[in-house]
Structure 1
Amino acid sequence: MQNLLSLAHQATQHLTDKALSQLFQQPIFILSAPRSGSTLLFEQLIQQDHMWSIGNESHVVFSQFPHLRFANGEQDSSSLNATHADARTNRLIKACFLFMLQNKQNQRYIDPKLTGLPKAPIFIEKTPRNALNIPFILKIFPDARFIYLQRDPRQTIASLIEAWHLGIKTGRFATYPNLPGWHLPAWCFLLPAGWRQMIGKSIAEIACFQWQQSNQTIEYELAKLDPNRTHRLDYYDLINNSHTTLCKVIKFINPNHDISTLSFKLTPSNTTLTRPDPEKWRKYEDEIMALKSIWGKKSRET
């Protein structure tokens, strides 16, 4: 979106920093490794009454801030911490979110024609990179709460492998097309610290590395928080016991929400590449099982 920062600034300049912050009380951030089903979860949640989002992932917002592309000038990772959230960035991130905020009818929160708006809309954000950015998120939104979605590592890694192959071929999932020293045409998805250890490695090894680093980082950061600020769920339950699982998620988000009339219809998310199948990972079984010493240990721990 062109001129997003300018438009967001103009739309929110009448708000003090305090007033802007008060519009984002206990925002919800979905955390997961890439290809764990977070898009499916996000799409279900933002179709519920009283839920607000920017309608998609926040890449368009982060792209407005060149200093947030990498952790540092050496391009060591895409991880962000509290030091990246200086006062200007802090305000403008919120301004962008508020400017783009919409409900399930695509009605924008800042639309002057809308009435009866909540003083503090329930804001839900989902971007895989959030897995590496929890300290940054907490600097901007100190009372943020988190939904942590996990998925069978074999399925997640297989989906990452599949998406990497497509990304290299088409650029669809390429986040860093010109990463210095990288042996492939592009880097896809989030960029954890230690990525240079993957130079020359197979796509399966890279996918496993991303899975491992995402989940380890999430576990480490969430362990610092009050457990009441987090809700964990498994992709298997989301798929096979969707109504009960999603009702629990919504009660976590808003304990006052009436779940008695809720209904859900799970359809493939807009990032699905091939027909969902729990055994689809076996296409890459040999490669994935060769890495079991990495993902198997993590699976037992969690």
Structure 2
Amino acid sequence: MQQIQEIPISFKGSKLKPPIFLTGCGRSGTSMLQRTIASHKNIFSFRSETHLFGKQHHIPHLKDTNLPDLLNNARYTFAQEILYKEFEINEDTDSLILAVLSVMLNTIECTPEIIMQKNYSGELLEILEELKRFAVIDIKDKYNAFDLCASYLTLKAHKKRWADKSAINMFNMKKILKLYPDAKFIEIYRDPRGVFYSWTRCPFPFFRLTTPLGCIQRWLKAAHLGEKLQEQYPNQYYRVKYEALIQNPADELERICNFIEEEFDPNMLNFKTYNSSFKEYNGKEGFDNRRTDHWKAGLSISELIFIDSITKKHREQLGYPDVAPTVTLMNVFPLILYLTKLCIKVRVSPLSLLEKIKNARA
């Protein structure tokens, strides 16, 4: 790795432009948005989601935890929080910095195991040594460590600001604004049927362990909160439609750049896809209109009826019309079978499932 000269490092981004927080319901195109934003000449972003700003209560001590069991149940963020807490209590600054760097430069799925085994790459260890040489390290908690690492990596890449992508960022906006009062937030939202198709077909453990109803509940929460945040913070919270971004990328990216007060960079149109659950897209550049149409041929009539009935209010507010057919004698029995299978998967009675659906709609 190329060595760097001494550079100014400061907390809370005072030597950098205000950070950008990318967010949205899972499988709504947050990764695509991140790669697009990171292609801008002035913006640095991390490899994957950091999940650093989530609300985690009652974090147990490491000695009282079965971390392998948490990882087997795809509770990666909770496992990571336990490790952060352990390093904070022990005032183990080196381990805390390495833990933060690991999640920035790897993925949340593999980071806890890397930390537990201390299987840090040479790149991470070299960055730690560079930080010790060129920065005044005054780390109190994971937020200090994050800000130090984010600022350092951004300046090292000769960028002017950084962007963090996590689905949970929108749910923790108040906490983030206490740390970064001038931060900008960009939420990407998507047709719930497209989200549902991508979510239920994704091979990643977290998505496989989430029920179809859980997927729709998450979409509804994000849709409802996104509307409120845009009203509450009109100068700091921006919403972009997934389908519009794919179909008219230049226009939508111009609007995004105006919002974050950056000049439009044509490189944003030629981002490269990697680590996609749809492997046919890995390695490809730019936007692909086919991404908006997967669900149209892939969802069953029962799935369409299920999704449309629950999401109707927020879906129509976002400009997504009904597509599911009316329930008839021809399709009611497949629908009953689908809901029965869903009851078994969720492990609830039919009445309990109907109550959950009713609550979700409300």
Q: Which interval holds the TM-score relative to the shorter structure?
A: 0.5 to 0.7
Alignment of 1:220-259 (within 5 A): 220-225=228-233, 227-255=234-262, 257=263, 259=265
Per-residue deviation, 1:268 = 4.7
Instruction: Please give the secondary structure, in 1, of the residue aligned with 2:227.
Output: helix
- Cα deviation digits, residues 114-154 of structure 1 (max 9, x gap): 8xx57xx2221112222322222212211111112111111
Gaps of 5+ in 2: 1-5, 61-74, 86-139, 281-289, 319-362
Q: State, as a whole percentage, how many aligned pairs show the same letter.
A: 21
In angstroms, what is the RMSD of aligned CA positions?
3.6
Contact 1:39 1:270 (8 Å CA) reproduced: no
- Distance, in Å, in 1 between the alignment partners of 2:180 and 2:58 is 22
Instruction: Please give the secondary structure, in 1, of the residue aligned with 2:141.
Output: helix
Whichever residue aligns with residue 278 of structure 2, its letter is L
Other-structure match for 1:135: 174
- Distance, in Å, in 2 between the alignment partners of 1:267 and 1:258 is 18
- Cα deviation digits, residues 60-118 of structure 1 (max 9, x gap): x67xxxxx6734459xx9899xxx9xx7344233123224x24xxxxxx2x4xx8xx57
Gaps of 5+ in 1: 1-10, 63-67, 103-108, 175-185, 189-202
Whichever residue aligns with residue 91 of structure 1, its letter is N
Other-structure match for 2:294: 280
Residue of structure 2 aligned with 1:20, choices 4, 11, 22: 11
Per-residue deviation, 1:217 = 2.7
* Count of aligned positions: 229
Other-structure match for 2:316: 300
Instruction: Please give the secondary structure, in 2, of the residue aligned with 1:264.
Output: helix
- Cα deviation digits, residues 4-44 of structure 1 (max 9, x gap): xxxxxxx99x96xxx41213542111121110111111112
The answer to whether structure 1 residue 70 and structure 2 residue 86 are counterparts is no
TM-score by length of 2: 0.54
Larger radius of gyration: 2
Per-residue deviation, 1:265 = 2.8
Per-residue deviation, 1:262 = 5.4
Q: 1:215 to 1:274 in 2, by over 3 A?
A: farther
Per-residue deviation, 1:47 = 1.4
- Distance, in Å, in 2 between the alignment partners of 1:270 and 1:49 is 22
Residue of structure 2 aligned with 1:152, choices 176, 188, 191: 191
Whichever residue aligns with residue 218 of structure 1, its letter is G
Per-residue deviation, 1:208 = 0.5
- Distance, in Å, in 1 between the alignment partners of 2:306 and 2:23 is 27
Other-structure match for 1:3: none
Contact 1:204 1:288 (8 Å CA) reproduced: no
Structure ranking higher in helix proportion = 2
Whichever residue aligns with residue 157 of structure 1, its letter is F
Residue of structure 2 aligned with 1:123, choices 157, 162, 168: 162
The answer to whether structure 1 residue 30 and structure 2 residue 19 are counterparts is no
Instruction: Please give the secondary structure, in 2, of the residue aligned with 1:23.
Output: coil
Q: 1:220 to 1:72 in 2, by over 3 A?
A: farther
TM-score by length of 1: 0.63
Whichever residue aligns with residue 153 of structure 1, its letter is P
Per-residue deviation, 1:299 = 1.3
